[in-house]
Amino acid sequence: MSKNYKKRLNKEQEKKLLDDCLKKKNCEELVKQYLILVQKFIKKTFKKYNYYYSELEVEDLSQDVFLKLFSGALEKFDFNKNLSLSGWIIMIAVRTTINYIILIRNRDGKVSIDIDVDPEIAPVIDRTDTIERYKLLISIKKTALKVLSKREKEVFNLHCFECMDYKEIAYYLGISENASSTCLSRAKEKLWQYKDLFL
């Protein structure tokens, strides 16, 4: 990961950080630990959806993410659901950013988010018709549900639909980079074997 990231916390360290925030109302360390990560994924999501953003928007959305966390999202987090606290926070940052983009584009009368399909999975698509791209996306997701294992689906969805690379996926899921890369390659290979179902 980037040198701007603080050292990745293990599960016990994350539990302590969460406990300090929820029970002792000391959330400063949690913000220090995850602020750069949140900002990185906000920017990455903006870029993924070709949204030209300002640093002020990144700051505002970062505040929105932490506001959501401190207004109930942290209480809903469950370590037993096979997700790290950092992964949960990344998911909230990405979803908050996507909702913001949709809101702005709808307000400005622009076409909603244009989905890019991973070029390693699908051939280059010359269509500009968003509906066709959504149909292809839905078709790929349905195929993935049928042929991929649970872990392969997680990794594939994070890569193709949440714009994460294998290192970020490893960080998000709390697995090794090698496991993330291998799982992503396996998912792509399986889907390519079933390309007739969605092409």
pLDDT tens-digit readout, 87-104: 889 888 988 998 888 888
pLDDT tens-digit readout, 167-186: 888 887 888 888 888 988 88
Alpha-carbon distance of 25 to 28, in angstroms, equals: 9
Domains of the chain are 1-113 (1.10.1740), 114-199 (1.10.10.10)
Higher pLDDT, 151 or 146: 151
Instruction: Kindly report the three-state secondary structure assignment for every residue of 55-76.
Output: HHHHHHHHHHHHHHHHHHHHHH
Higher pLDDT, 6 or 71: 71
pLDDT tens-digit readout, 101-137: 888 877 765 544 444 444 444 433 333 445 566 566 6
Alpha-carbon distance of 105 to 130, in angstroms, equals: 14
Q: Is the pLDDT of residue 40 over 50?
A: yes
pLDDT tens-digit readout, 41-50: 999 989 888 8
Q: DSSP character for 173?
A: H
Mean pLDDT for the stretch of residues 72-80: 83
Q: Are 157 and 151 in contact (CB under 8 A)?
A: no
Which residue do the tokens 């070709």 mark?
A: 50
Which residue do the tokens 């990231």 mark?
A: 5
